[in-house]
Amino acid sequence: MWRMARVLFGIAVVMGLAALLWFATRPPPLIVQGEVSANRVDISPRVSGRISKLNADVGDSVESGAVIAELQSPQLVAGLHMAEAALAVAQADLVRVNSTRPETIAARKAELAAASADVTLYQEDFDRQAKLITTGASTQSRVDETTRNLEAAIRKRESAQANLELAVAGASKEEKALAASQVGRAKSSLNQQQVDISELTIHAPISGQVTTRVAELGENFAAGAPLFSLTDLQNPWFTFNLREDLLKGLKVGDGFDVTVPAIGGAIIPVKVTTINAQGQYATWRATRATGDFDLRTFEVRANPLNPVPGLRPGMSAIASWPPAGK
């Protein structure tokens, strides 16, 4: 009995020593460090102008679409007035070529009536001379004269009719098309000026926190010059740069845990969303002393599964590697 007990005790001691030896010789877990990242938007005007109003400062949280600054540009305002005047001129010219004054039409109608009366008169004279020549009471020269007068009167009536139709119709199709195109061009120019004027009001393109403000009241800024930087603190992610031999089958959709010392080191579950190879310059080390080939570095992005209060870009993130289950 005692012998059996000593054997069991010896086996337990050996197993304990083996466990201690295994833990003593086990390599420490690898710790990888990343950082918190977030989208940042640099806001700049599309047109040049002078800052007349600022509605946001560094540290302010703004909503998407909020007015954060206003600019002034007398040149753009003057251009807008010129475009409005040019459109008015083009529209007036279009009305002119598409219509004729009533007085002009009335005059053309009067000319047609006079020409028609002449035709009637010369037609009666021609008919009378045609009868007289059959009785010998008129000469051939007289008949020829009335014939010429009748033909001239008919041509004059045709001319008067054409002039009346031209007055009623107005300008030609080509002139109307040209006037219409001038109106279209003037409208386009006015619309461009209105768009430029609207760009003097700067809106926040996203919801976020103002992390940089370059704009100062009264200062002139050219188009494209940065005024503010907005950072989206509601949708941060974690970025880790890992050697390819550390990926060990990691794929998009996998999860692991990270801790952020800046917010107390609580465990944050995350899910991998992107695995991208870094540039050639981002190699880590040669796999052999002879330098046959280099291990590439991959950027691994992971999003937190739940909102994490206080998480800000630039904070360090710590993870044990490989993740559990890998």
- Pair (92, 183) in one structural domain: yes
Domain limits for position 226: 40-73+200-231
Question: What's the domain count of the chain?
Answer: 3
Q: Are residues 223 and 166 in the same domain?
A: no
> Residue 305 corresponds to which tokens in the numbers above?
């599964």
Instruction: Clarify whether residues 189 and 204 are in a common domain.
Output: no
Domain boundary at 185, 214, 231, which? 231
Instruction: For the chain, 326 residues long, give each residue's pLDDT as a single digit of tens.
Output: 566 666 565 666 556 655 555 444 555 568 889 999 999 999 999 999 999 999 999 999 999 999 999 999 999 999 999 999 999 999 998 888 777 677 777 787 788 888 888 888 888 877 777 777 777 666 777 777 888 888 888 888 888 888 777 777 766 778 888 888 999 999 999 999 999 999 999 999 999 999 999 999 999 999 999 999 999 999 999 999 888 888 888 889 999 999 999 998 889 999 999 998 876 655 545 444 445 556 788 899 999 999 998 899 999 999 988 776 55
- Picking from 145, 174, 195, the residue at the C-terminal end of a domain is 195
Regarding whether 241 and 316 lie in a shared domain, the answer is yes
- 29 within domain boundaries: no
Residue 30 lies in a domain: no
Q: Return the CATH number at 248.
A: 2.40.30
Last residue of a domain, one of 141, 173, 195: 195
**Same domain for 173 and 108?**
yes
